[in-house]
Amino acid sequence: MERKLKLIWDFRGPSAQKTAEHHVIHLKEYISIEKLSLNITGFQEINEFHSIAFMVVTDSEMKPVRDALKPHRGQLYQE
């Protein structure tokens, strides 16, 4: 079983949550177009001025996705 990696985009400012929510729409479109093996996305409000959008990819899919979408950071995905 391949490792799952969580790719993260950070958004800051008063509209951070709405921006992160909207970014997830584009991540879902990308997953569909590229036919990625996982369909795990979401957003999370860290605080009033910091939210994140994320998608989960397998180890083998990480490099092409990273190069195409340029996430700000990544971490191992814990279910």
Q: 3-state DSSP call for residue 16?
A: helix
pLDDT at 75 over 90: yes
Residue 78 lies in a domain: no
Beta-carbon contacts of residue 42 (< 8 Å; ≥ 6 apart): 24, 53, 54
Q: Domain tally for the chain?
A: 1
Residue 77 lies in a domain: no
Q: Say what the pLDDT of residue 1 is.
A: 77
Q: 3-state DSSP call for residue 62?
A: helix
Residue 63 lies in a domain: yes
Q: What is the pLDDT of residues 19-61, one digit of tens each?
A: 999 999 999 999 999 999 999 999 999 999 999 999 999 999 9
Structural domain for 46, as ranges: 4-72
Residue 48 lies in a domain: yes
Its pTM stands at 0.94
pLDDT at 79 over 90: no
